[in-house]
């Protein structure tokens, strides 16, 4: 069956910066944000096998979860539209009108939005909750929050196909753990992988270990998580992060978002200054997209990101 196609091939872009020169590092950015105008970055990889599986199993509807500014909700709505199947989004929190740009796009692409309380949302992975949703909406293919499952890991493993240079390190932002799990499984113990969680709590390492074991039956030792750069948690930020994002775009013509990629690149710079990476290292930083969220962020906080 046909698969969703990228609009263009990702670009592997070398960036020159005094920080990296002083640290003796060579840094490349894998621009996954460029591959599709709507199914952005890592979401394209995480969704494609999920959508294919839904159709193979005979479903005409997917249901998934996310917050009001979720990149995953946005991408899932567009992907479902391209596959010509229905989509239902279960959104955490009360409905606010007018809809923010993320949810408006999702609705415009045909996603049926349903809002539930934060307390109810905590039960989203429980069998009784899913059964109640099936009673309400009929049969559907369930895509987890963030799209993260074995199909997502399979898709994310293909991110490595876009890298055609020798490298020592890969660094990526980490939310639900699917993208970094795909990268770790594909490298199978080779190279070094650094994840930068955007959620506080320090729980993601254990979650990724579980995802990897369920996917491949293996454990790996060539990866690490650094929990020092979440800036207070999901979608939390300060003026230092915003200044960094704006300065980075000004210097390198690469836009970053404040939830994922901004924090990851901030970590890359800070760790480079600290000597975390051995001199002579060649690093690939994965730009996981998510730029659609900048519109809603600026609407909420006053056009902080230029």
pLDDT in tens, 22-70: 999 999 999 999 999 899 899 999 999 999 999 999 999 999 999 999 9
User: Do the strands 61-66 and 141-143 form a parallel or antiparallel pair, or are they unpaired?
Assistant: parallel
Burial track 44-72 (b if 16+ CB lie within 10 A, e otherwise): bbbbbbbbbbbbeeebebbbbbbbbbbbb
Of 15, 268, 287, give the one whose Cα is nearest residue 162.
Answer: 287
The yes or no reply on domain 42-147 and CATH 3.40.50.1100 is yes
CA angle 122, 128, 129 (to 5 degrees): 40
11-39+149-301 and 42-147 in the same fold: yes
What's the CATH number of domain 11-39+149-301, 3.20.20.190, 2.40.30.40, 3.40.50.1100, 3.30.70.990? 3.40.50.1100
Report the C-alpha gap between 166 and 209 in whole angstroms.
Answer: 26
Phi, psi (deg, nearest 5) at residue 14: -75, 135
Decide if 46 contacts 156 (C-beta within 8 A): yes
pTM (2 decimals)? 0.95
pLDDT of 1 > 60? The answer is no
Q: What is the mean pLDDT of residues 176-182?
A: 97
Percent over 90 (pLDDT), the chain: 95
What is the average pLDDT score of the chain? 95
Other residues' Cβ atoms within 10 Å of the Cβ of residue 244: 18
Strand-pair category, 141-143 with 86-92: unpaired
Helix or strand (DSSP H, E) at 142: strand 141-143
């Amino acid at each position: 069956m046909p698969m969703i196609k990228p609009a263009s091939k990702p670009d592997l872009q070398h960036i020159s910066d005094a920080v990296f020169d002083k640290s003796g590092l060579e840094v490349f950015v894998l621009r996954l944000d460029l591959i599709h105008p709507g199914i952005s970055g890592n979401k394209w990889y995480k969704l494609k096998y999920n959508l294919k599986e839904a159709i193979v199993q005979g479903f005409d509807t997917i249901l998934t979860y996310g917050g009001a500014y979720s990149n995953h909700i946005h991408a899932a709505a567009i992907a479902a539209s391209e596959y010509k199947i229905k989509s239902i989004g279960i959104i955490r929190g009360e409905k606010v009108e007018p809809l923010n740009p993320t949810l408006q796009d999702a609705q415009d692409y045909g996603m049926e939005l349903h809002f539930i309380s934060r307390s109810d949302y905590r039960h989203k992975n429980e069998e009784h909750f899913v059964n109640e949703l099936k009673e309400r909406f009929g049969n559907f293919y369930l895509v987890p929050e963030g799209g993260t499952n074995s199909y997502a890991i399979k898709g994310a493993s293909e991110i490595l196909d876009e890298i055609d240079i020798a490298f020592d390190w890969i660094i990526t932002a980490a939310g639900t753990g699917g993208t970094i799990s795909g990268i770790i499984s594909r490298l199978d113990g080779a190279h070094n992988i650094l994840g930068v969680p955007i959620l506080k709590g320090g729980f993601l390492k254990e979650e990724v270990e579980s995802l990897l074991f369920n996917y491949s039956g293996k454990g790996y030792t060539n990866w690490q998580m650094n929990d020092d750069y979440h800036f207070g948690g999901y979608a939390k930020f300060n003026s230092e992060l915003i200044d960094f994002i704006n300065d980075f775009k000004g210097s390198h013509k690469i836009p970053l978002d404040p939830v994922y990629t901004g924090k990851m690149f901030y970590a890359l710079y800070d760790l480079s200054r600290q000597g975390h990476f051995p001199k002579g290292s060649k690093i690939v930083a994965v730009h996981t997209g998510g730029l659609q969220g900048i519109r809603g962020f600026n609407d909420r906080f006053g056009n902080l990101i230029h």
